[in-house]
Structure formats: C-alpha cells, structure tokens
C-alpha cells in the first residue's frame, strides 16, 4: 500500500498522564454489581443505527473511550449519535450507502473493533476516509481486513506493513464475496458482512471456527435476513443479501461478560467472597471462561437465565473456591479470547498446571497478550512458561507472593488482571498505568472498591 506515511500521533494517553495504581490484599469481596454494557454490542448498535433509515434508540450503551470513538466517527459521517444520559443514546441513521465523507481523519483511539468494523461499513460507501488510532492500534494488523474488502472493490492506501494510518476509498457498489476466514476473527467476519450490506447479491463468510455472532443477531433485530448453515467439517456459512433496508429498532445492551470476568474471578480468589454480577450476556460464543472456570472447580452459578434483544442473559454468582489446573480446550479459544489474562491469574492460584494453547491471536491484541500476561504473572511471583501459542501456568494451590510491578503496555485487560492478582496475593501489586482501563470499563475501580477491594492510586 502507498499513501499517508506519517505515524499516527493520536495516542489518547500520553506517557505524562500515566495513572499508577496499587492493588492490595483484601478481605472478602461481597455484593451485587452491574458491570457496564457489552463493548461488542455497543459498537454494533452505533454502526447499525447509522445504517438504518430513521432513529434507533439504545439503552445500556457502554460509555467507554472505545465506544465513544465509534460514536464520534458515526457522527463525523453524518449519522448523529446523541447521548441522552445514563447509557441512553439516539442515532439518526442515514441508510445503507448514505454516510457522507468525513471532514477529518476518523480517530478510533485504542479500538480495533470500532476501526475494523467501520472499514467494512465504509468499504460499501463511495467516499474516502482516513483511519487513525493510538500507538497500540497503530501497531495492529489491518491486512486481515483490507484483503477481503479489496476483493470487494474497496481501495486502501497506507504503510507497507498494513497498519494505520490507512485511507480507504469505498466501492460503488462493492462486489458480493464468498470469503473463508483465515483467522478466527469476528471482526473480520463482521467487516465483510457489513460491506456486503451494500453489495448487489449474497455475501458469504465461511467460518472454520465459530466466532461471536453479535453482528448476525443484531442485523436480524434491524430486519435484515442473515442465514447461518453448518456445512461439512463443521464449517459455518454466514450469508447476508445486500441492498436491504435496515429498520431502526431499540437495542438494550446487556452487561459485558468480558468486564464481569474481573469481579467474578476476584471473588473466586479472595477468601470468603460472594459476588453477583447482574444482567450479564452469556451468548455461548462469549461465555467460554465460565465453563472453563467451572471445570477448574469454581463455584459459579447462572441464575435468572433469560433472553433480551436476541442475546442470552443471566445473573452470575461466584464464590471463593479452591481451583485445580486443567488443560483448557484450544477449540474454545474464540469463545473466551479476551479472558485469557484473567484466566491466567486464576490459574496462578489453582493447584497444578493449567495449559492454555491455540492462542496465536493473543499476540495481536491491544498488546502481545501472551508476553504481557507471562510478564505480569512473573512480576506477581507465579510460575509460568511462555509458548509460541500460549502458556503453561503452574499454580501452588491458592498462594502467590505478589509484591511486583506490572507494565500494562497500553492494554486495559492486562491492567485489570494485574489488579485482580494484587487483591488475592500475599503482597500488593502495582501497575504502571491504569489509564487504558477507561477504554472498556471506566468505573472499574469504583465498582471493585464497592465490593471491598483495596485499589488506590500511587505515586508510581
Ligand atoms: C471483537 C472480537 C474479538 C475480540 C474483541 C472484540 C468484536 O476480536 O478480541 O475484543 O467485537 O468483534 P477478533 O474478532 O479479532 O478476535
């Protein structure tokens, strides 16, 4: 690719704004919490709202930096996303193909999901837009998105390595495509399906490994037909027929299981704890962590299971438990891909070895999450071996020394996982920077301290 060559200078968290924290061993965590809305669904509600004709309303939207970046992009493209307070938003959609060329580059901050899904949306619009992000997002691979979207007729200009900043010129109209996912990525699947909405005919994504299906579920809620069939070798075909019209709807966003994981795992590890997380989305393609923890001996129960807006929801209760190490099935990785750092913390408190493999994708998340998780556990005094595709954690039955300092590497989930370790370790754990937690879970510290956690800013 050729084109804009200057590195992105949009890091929303310059080093001078680093927020070091200390998480200290604490007494039992108790209480009921409602963690914020699901991040994946919040991005999709804004994007599909922008593509519908008329006003979509959303309740429970996650108001984190990542999602606010998507709301800003949607507004910059001419579909107003308006904050009505307390997680209620309105989006005035302009219809598929109706988005306007933005005046400025679209800044997605730290958010891979917002950036990659929006590339899919704009690949089907006859406009040009430049995508930028912070230092972490500017390192992440975009070729996985630009490859299929180029096959659909979109054009991209950017650095040779396929990273941001990238300028996209959409196709008018894009060509329908049948595309086999080379990596198990819901972001790639979603980008192709969203571009397919503008294509004359059927666009099909073939998934050798199933990934989260919120795009499919939400498209149906907006009145678009999405067919999913299982073919030979368990390959799923997901099909959309383009040039449809999306009908505005109301999206009620349940709580994010990836955020609920932090207070729930903390409850498993801190003696005497009993925590209830309310209204958590438990779509089976997202809930892998909870099954794995149960297999490790965790006292986790789903209560009040129900369905809202096309997604399964439950209240999840976790009580202090003695955990044992297991071999985590690699085929379930996609259903818990964001939960490995906190699972690794749980494994460090278990008795025996926990083997986590098949995790190559973790190397291209907000940080290299295999290396970052291994370094975090080592700083906390846990025994861990790094593998190319995962790690093996050897727990000593409920005890780790803590006392270390963790570098979070612009990764919110490493920061929150290290905090969980510090609450249950023998000595406090410090982190260099909690600022990135605001990308997914701005109220994390308040919510955790409300349960009895000891987390405080330090001087570094
Ligand atoms: C997401 C998909 C996952 C996940 C990310 C959110 C989504 O990424 O890690 O946090 O909303 O589609 P990949 O699909 O690239 O694995």
Instruction: Please write the tens of the pLDDT for every residue from 63-110.
Output: 999 999 999 999 999 999 999 999 999 999 999 999 999 999 999 999
Distance of CA 429 to the CA centre of its chain: 25
What domains does the chain contain, in order, with CATH numbers?
A: 21-37+254-457 (3.65.10.10), 39-243 (3.65.10.10)
User: With a 6 A CB cut-off, is 40 part of the ligand 1 pocket?
Assistant: yes
Residue 210 marked as a ligand binder: no
pLDDT tens across the length of the chain (460 residues): 434 333 333 345 554 579 999 999 999 999 999 999 999 999 999 999 999 999 999 999 999 999 999 999 999 999 999 999 999 999 999 999 999 999 999 999 999 999 999 999 999 999 999 999 999 999 999 999 999 999 999 999 999 999 999 999 999 999 999 999 999 999 999 999 999 999 999 999 999 999 999 999 999 999 999 999 999 999 999 999 999 999 999 999 999 999 999 999 999 999 999 999 999 999 999 999 999 999 999 999 999 999 987 899 999 999 999 999 999 999 999 999 999 999 999 999 999 999 999 999 999 999 999 999 999 999 999 999 999 999 999 999 989 999 999 999 999 999 999 999 999 999 999 999 999 999 999 999 999 999 999 999 998 6
pLDDT at 17: 78
Report the atom number in ligand 1 closest to the C-alpha of 144: 15
66 in active site = no
What is the CB-side half-sphere exposure of residue 87 using CA atoms within 13 A?
17
295/282 Cα distance (integer angstroms): 17
**In contact, 61 and 87? CB cutoff 8 Å:** yes
Query: How does pLDDT run across 328-349, given as a tens digit for each residue?
Result: 999 999 999 999 999 999 999 9
Instruction: Read off φ and ψ for residue 274, nearest 5 degrees.
Output: -155, 105
pLDDT at 15: 47
Q: How many angstroms does the Cα of residue 397 sit away from the middle of ligand 1?
A: 32
Q: Could you tell me which residues are beta bridge partners of residue 241?
A: 202
For strands 327-328 and 351-356, give the pairing. Answer: parallel
Q: How many angstroms does the Cα of residue 458 sit away from the middle of ligand 1?
A: 32
Pocket test for ligand 1, best of 47, 112, 182, 259 (most atoms within 8 A of CB): 112
> Atom 10 in ligand 1: which residue has the minimum CA distance?
338
Active-site entry in 338, 411, 432, 433: 338
173/163 Cα distance (integer angstroms): 25
pLDDT at 308: 85
**Full DSSP string of 378-415:** HHTT-EEEEETTEEEEEEESS---B--EE--TT-HHHH
> Atom 15 in ligand 1: which residue has the minimum CA distance?
185
**The two three-digit tokens of residue 228, written as one number:** 């999913």
Report the atom number in ligand 1 closest to the C-alpha of 215: 12
Helical spans, DSSP H, in 7-64: 39-51
Q: Which helix (H) or strand (E) holds 268?
A: helix 257-269
pTM of the complete model? 0.96
pLDDT at 310: 84
Q: How many angstroms does the Cα of residue 222 sit away from the middle of ligand 1?
A: 21
User: With a 6 A CB cut-off, is 389 part of the ligand 1 pocket?
Assistant: no
User: With a 6 A CB cut-off, is 187 part of the ligand 1 pocket?
Assistant: yes
**In contact, 400 and 381? CB cutoff 8 Å:** yes
Q: Which helix (H) or strand (E) holds 257?
A: helix 257-269
> Atom 13 in ligand 1: which residue has the minimum CA distance?
185
Q: How many angstroms does the Cα of residue 286 sit away from the middle of ligand 1?
A: 10
Report the atom number in ligand 1 closest to the C-alpha of 184: 16
Q: How many angstroms does the Cα of residue 280 sit away from the middle of ligand 1?
A: 18
Residue 413 marked as a ligand binder: yes
Q: How many angstroms does the Cα of residue 267 sit away from the middle of ligand 1?
A: 26
290/109 Cα distance (integer angstroms): 30
- Three-state DSSP at 277 gives strand
User: With a 6 A CB cut-off, is 186 part of the ligand 1 pocket?
Assistant: yes
Closest CA to 23 of 395, 426, 438, 377: 426
C-beta contacts of 1-5 below 8 A and 24+ residues apart:
1/146, 1/156, 1/157, 1/158, 1/159, 1/160, 1/162, 1/166, 2/157, 2/158, 3/156, 3/157, 3/158, 3/165, 3/166, 3/167, 4/130, 4/157, 4/158, 4/165, 4/166, 4/167, 5/159
User: With a 6 A CB cut-off, is 360 part of the ligand 1 pocket?
Assistant: no
Pocket test for ligand 1, best of 183, 337, 361, 416 (most atoms within 8 A of CB): 337
Q: How many angstroms does the Cα of residue 338 sit away from the middle of ligand 1?
A: 8
Q: Which residues contact 20 (CB under 8 A, 6 or more apart)?
A: 430, 431, 432, 433, 434, 457, 458, 459, 460
User: With a 6 A CB cut-off, is 338 part of the ligand 1 pocket?
Assistant: yes
User: With a 6 A CB cut-off, is 336 part of the ligand 1 pocket?
Assistant: no
Distances (CA, A) of 4 to 11, 136, 156: 17, 18, 10
User: With a 6 A CB cut-off, is 215 part of the ligand 1 pocket?
Assistant: no
User: With a 6 A CB cut-off, is 361 part of the ligand 1 pocket?
Assistant: yes
């Amino acid at each position: 690719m050729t084109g804009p060559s200057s590195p992105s200078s949009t890091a929303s968290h310059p080093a001078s704004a680093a927020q070091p924290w200390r998480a200290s061993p604490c007494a039992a965590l108790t209480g009921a919490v409602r963690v914020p809305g699901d991040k994946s669904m919040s991005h999709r509600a804004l994007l599909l709202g922008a593509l519908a004709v008329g006003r979509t309303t959303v309740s429970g939207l996650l108001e984190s930096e990542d999602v606010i970046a998507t709301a800003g992009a949607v507004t910059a493209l001419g579909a107003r996303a308006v904050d009505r307070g307390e997680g209620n938003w309105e989006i005035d959609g302009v219809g598929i193909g109706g988005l306007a060329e933005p005046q400025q580059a679209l800044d997605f901050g730290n958010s891979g999901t917002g950036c990659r899904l929006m590339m899919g949306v704009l690949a089907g619009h006859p406009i040009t837009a430049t995508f930028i992000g912070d230092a972490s997002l500017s390192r992440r691979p975009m070729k996985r998105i630009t490859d299929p979207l180029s096959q659909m007729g979109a054009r991209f200009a950017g650095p040779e390595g396929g990273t941001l900043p990238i300028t996209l010129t959409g196709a008018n109209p894009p060509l329908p495509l049948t595309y086999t996912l080379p990596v198990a990525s819901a972001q790639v699947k979603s980008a192709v399906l969203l571009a397919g909405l503008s294509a004359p005919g059927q666009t099909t994504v073939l998934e050798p490994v199933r990934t989260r299906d919120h795009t499919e579920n939400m498209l149906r809620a907006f009145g678009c037909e999405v067919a999913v069939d299982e073919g030979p070798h368990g390959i799923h075909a997901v099909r959309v027929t383009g040039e449809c019209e999306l009908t505005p709807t109301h999206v009620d966003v349940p709580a994010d299981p990836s955020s609920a994981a932090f207070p729930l795992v903390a409850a498993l590890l801190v003696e005497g704890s009993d925590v209830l997380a309310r209204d958590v989305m438990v779509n089976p393609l997202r809930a892998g962590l909870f099954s794995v923890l149960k297999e490790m001996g965790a006292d986790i129960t789903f209560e009040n299971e129900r369905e809202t807006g096309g997604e399964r929801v439950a209240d999840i209760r976790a009580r202090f438990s003695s955990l044992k190490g297991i071999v985590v099935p690699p085929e379930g990785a996609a259903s818990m891909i964001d939960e490995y750092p906190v699972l690794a913390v749980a494994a460090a408190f278990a008795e025996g070895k926990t083997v986590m493999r098949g995790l190559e994708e973790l190397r291209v998340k907000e940080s290299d999450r295999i290396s970052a998780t291994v370094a975090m556990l080592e700083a906390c005094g846990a025994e861990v071996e790094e593998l190319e595709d995962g790690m093996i954690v050897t727990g000593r039955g409920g005890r780790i020394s803590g006392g270390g300092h963790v570098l979070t590497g612009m990764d919110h989930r490493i920061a929150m996982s290290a905090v969980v370790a510090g609450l249950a370790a023998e000595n406090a754990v410090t982190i260099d920077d909690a600022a990135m937690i605001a990308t997914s879970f701005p109220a994390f510290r308040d919510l955790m301290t409300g349960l009895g956690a000891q987390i405080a800013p330090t001087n570094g």
